[in-house]
């Protein structure tokens, strides 16, 4: 039995029904909000384990909802957006959404994203100066990184990058988020540099850089460290 409570925020009846039926079949508890105002009220009063948030709501802009929720809660938020609204999606991630689904999405996709998001909050609770993910180990206190118990030597920039990704494991981070965290700016040149550092980092940690195991690329959006 799955005891996670998911808040479904969606004004479109057909999509809402699809999501709710899927959640019900997979034994999630869920709450429904058809607009932004109800969503904010329910997020505050029920403190759900995850939120599925449609960005195009009749009353409040989805991004504003994320900003408000993030001012007091770290609950995973998965945004649901139309394919044409790439910029909205990126803005939502920059304001603290965890992940996104693009309409039309499959039920399997929805469940997979939800599992990842719920796992992230679980791992957040284990506070440690050692990060372990599959064969990857990061000792934050010593500033050392290991793959299968062998220390690998990273440049300061690669180390910074792997720490940003590991601190947000399971979460899609936009190019803007990462470059701001590293350089404090987000110019096109920073994003180009990010690609270079990502390539050198991957060479050191991935067995096969063509099929990365740890760091997933989201084309046009950013990167995510997968929880293995
Ligand atoms: Ca909508």
Mean pLDDT of the chain: 90
Average pLDDT over residues 157-181: 93
pLDDT digits (tens, 9 = 90+) for 55-78: 999 999 999 999 999 888 889 999
pLDDT band at 105 (very low <50, low <70, confident <90, very high): very high
- The protein residues having their C-beta less than 5 angstroms from ligand 1 (an ion) are 11, 54, 56
pLDDT band at 2 (very low <50, low <70, confident <90, very high): low
- What gap in Å lies between CA 173 and CA 1, rounded to an integer? 31
- Two structure tokens written together for 188: 């096109």
Between the CA of 58 and the centroid of ligand 1 the distance, in Å, is: 7
Average pLDDT over residues 161-183: 92
Between the CA of 85 and the centroid of ligand 1 the distance, in Å, is: 12
Whether the per-residue pLDDT at 109 is higher than 60: the answer is yes
Report pLDDT for 125.
47
Q: Specify the pTM.
A: 0.76
Whether the per-residue pLDDT at 122 is higher than 80: the answer is no
Average pLDDT over residues 23-28: 95
Query: With pLDDT > 70 as the criterion, what percentage of the chain qualifies?
Result: 94
CATH topology of domain 130-225: Arc Repressor Mutant, subunit A (1.10.10)
Whether the per-residue pLDDT at 107 is higher than 90: the answer is yes
* Domain ranges for the chain: 5-124, 130-225
Between the CA of 42 and the centroid of ligand 1 the distance, in Å, is: 18
Between the CA of 40 and the centroid of ligand 1 the distance, in Å, is: 16
Domain 5-124: assigned CATH number? 3.40.50.2300
- What gap in Å lies between CA 105 and CA 81, rounded to an integer? 10
Between the CA of 224 and the centroid of ligand 1 the distance, in Å, is: 26
Query: With pLDDT > 90 as the criterion, what percentage of the chain qualifies?
Result: 69
pLDDT digits (tens, 9 = 90+) for 82-104: 866 778 888 999 888 999 998 88
5-124 and 130-225: same fold?
no
Between the CA of 57 and the centroid of ligand 1 the distance, in Å, is: 5
- Assign 3-class secondary structure to the chain: CCCCEEEEECCCHHHHHHHHHHHHHCCCEEEEECCHHHHHHHHHHHCCCEEEEECCCCCCCHHHHHHHHHCCCCCCEEEEEECCCHHHHHHHHHCCCCEEEEECCCHHHHHHHHHHHHHHHHHHCCCCCEEEECCEEEECCCCEEEECCEEECCCHHHHHHHHHHHHCCCCCEEHHHHHHHHHCCCCHHHHHHHHHHHHHHHHHHCCCCCCCCCEEEECCCEEEECCC
């Amino acid at each position: 039995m799955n005891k996670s409570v998911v808040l479904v925020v969606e004004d479109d009846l057909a999509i809402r029904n699809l999501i709710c039926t899927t959640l019900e079949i997979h034994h999630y508890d869920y709450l429904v909000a058809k607009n932004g105002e109800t969503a904010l009220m329910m997020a505050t009063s029920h403190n759900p384990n995850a939120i599925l948030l449609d960005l195009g709501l009749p009353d409040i802009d989805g991004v504003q909802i994320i900003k408000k929720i993030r001012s007091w809660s770290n609950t995973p938020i998965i945004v649901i957006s139309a394919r044409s609204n790439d910029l909205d999606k990126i803005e939502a991630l920059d304001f603290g959404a965890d992940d996104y689904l693009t309409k039309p999405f499959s039920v399997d996709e929805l469940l997979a994203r939800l599992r990842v998001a719920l796992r992230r909050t679980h791992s957040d609770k284990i506070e440690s100066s050692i990060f372990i993910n599959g064969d990857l180990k990061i000792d934050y206190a010593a500033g050392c990184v290991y793959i299968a118990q062998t220390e690998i030597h990273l440049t300061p920039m690669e180390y910074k990058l792997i720490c940003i990704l590991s601190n947000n494991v399971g979460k899609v981070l936009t190019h803007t988020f990462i470059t701001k965290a590293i350089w404090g700016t987000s110019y096109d040149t920073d994003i180009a540099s990010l690609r270079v550092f990502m390539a050198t980092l991957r060479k050191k940690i991935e067995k096969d850089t063509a099929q990365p195991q740890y760091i997933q690329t989201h084309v046009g959006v950013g990167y995510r460290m997968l929880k293995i």
